[in-house]
Amino acid sequence: MLNRRAFLKTGLALTGLSLSGCSTTSQSSSALISVARDPDGQYFIQTFTGSGKELGRWPIAARAHDIAARPSSSEVVVFDRRPGRLLYQLNWKQPERAMRSVLSDPSRHFYGHGVFSQDGRWLYTTENNLETLQGVVGVYDAEQGYKKAGELALNGSGPHEIAMMPDGETLVVALGGIQTHPDSGRTTLNPDNLKPALLYVDRNTGAELEKQVFIDPALSIRHLDVSPEGTVAIGMQYQGDPDVLPLVALHQRGSPIKPVKATEVEWLTFHGYIASVCILPDSNTLAVTSPRGNRIGLIDVVTGELKTLIHNRDCAGAAKTASGLLAVSNGLGNIQLLKCHHGRAEEVSMTPFRHSQWDNHMLSLV
C-alpha cells in the first residue's frame, strides 16, 4: 500500500484536462442556482449564468444546502443545512417576488435534500425523527403551500440525498447511517455503530423495495444521482482517517453496489470526502467533487473507471447545464465550465464571482 503521508507531501499529477479557453455565450448562458456567502458573512440564494451574470438574489439568515426544482414550473425549494428546520420556496424567474419559508415539525429537522414527484405535486424531504434518531421522508403538498401531508419511515439513521427513479414511483435514498441530534450539533452519536445503506422506497406506501450495503460501514453513503436508464451513482464520506477505500460507486437494482475503478493514489487524493455527484448521460461521464481534496473526479460510466482528476480548490457544487456542459462551483467564488466525454474534459471557461462564495450544491435551471 502506498504510504499516505508520502503521497500527500508529493501530490498527484492531473490527467485528461485540455485547457481550450474557448468560451461562448451559448455555452455558458444556462441559468444556475446555488447558496452562497458574501465576504461580510451574509448568506443568500443566488441565480446566475455560467458566464458571470447575476439573475436574482434572496438573503437568508443562515447557511443552506441543496435545491430542488418543481417540474413544469419556475418554482424551486431550497433546504436548510442539517440540522436546520426551514425550507425556502421561490420563483427563480421572478426575483422581485417575495420568498416564503416553511418550518418543519418541532420533532423533525431537514437533512438538506429533497425531490419532487414527476408531476410536481409532492415534495419528498429527508428528515430526522428527534425522538428516535431514525430517518423519515417528509411528504409535502406543493399545491397546498407545502403543507406536510405525511411521512415515510425509513429503516435506518441519517438519510441524506434523495432522488426519484425513472419509473416515477420509487425513491432512492442515500442513508448515511449517522445518528445526530441538534442538542449535540453535528456530532456523530453512534461512531462505532454506523449502518449506511442505499434504500429504494415506494413513494406511495413507504415500503422498502430494496436495500444495499457496501464494503465498509465507515463509508457513509451521502450523495447520489440517477441516470435516465436507472443507474444510481453514489458518493461517500469516510468516517475516520482517510484510507484506501472506494468513495464512488454505481448501482443497478437487483445487483450489488459496484465500486468505481481507481488506483490507491487516486482514492487518497479525495481525502475521504465526496461532496456532489452528477451524471452527464450525453457525455457518458460521472462527475464528483471533493472540497477537502480540492479535486474534481471524472469517471467513464461505460467502463466504470476514473479517468480524470482536476485540481479545483474547495470545489463542491456540480450540475449539468442546459447546453450539456458540466458546471462546478467552489468556495472561492468561481464557476468552472467543462466539456466532458467518457471521463475526459476540456475547459470552456472559469468565471469569478467576486461577492459569492459558493456552498456545497448547485442546480441547473431550464
Give 273's DSSP letter. Answer: B
pTM over 0.75: yes
- What SS3 class is residue 155? coil
Transcribe 38-53 into DSSP letters: -TTS-EEEEEEETTS-
- What SS3 class is residue 265? helix
User: pLDDT tens across 286-308, in order?
Assistant: 999 999 999 999 999 999 999 99
* Rounded alpha-carbon distances, angstroms, from residue 19 to 238, 282, 327, 346: 32, 21, 15, 6
Residue 17 pLDDT exceeds 80: no
User: pLDDT tens across 229-248, in order?
Assistant: 999 999 999 998 767 799 99
* Rounded alpha-carbon distances, angstroms, from residue 317 to 40, 169, 363: 21, 27, 8
Q: What are phi and psi of 4, to 5 degrees?
A: -65, -45
Give the chain's domains with CATH numbers: 4-365 (2.130.10.10)
Q: Minimal CA–CA distance to 161: which of 293, 42, 43, 288?
A: 288
Residue 49 pLDDT exceeds 70: yes
User: pLDDT tens across 160-192, in order?
Assistant: 999 999 999 999 999 999 999 999 988 999 998
CB under 8 Å to 309, separation ≥6 — which residues?
A: 12, 14, 15, 16, 266, 269, 295, 296, 297, 298
Confidence (pLDDT) at 142: 98
When pLDDT is cut at 50, 70 and 90, the band that residue 29 belongs to is low
Confidence (pLDDT) at 30: 82
Residue 8 pLDDT exceeds 90: no
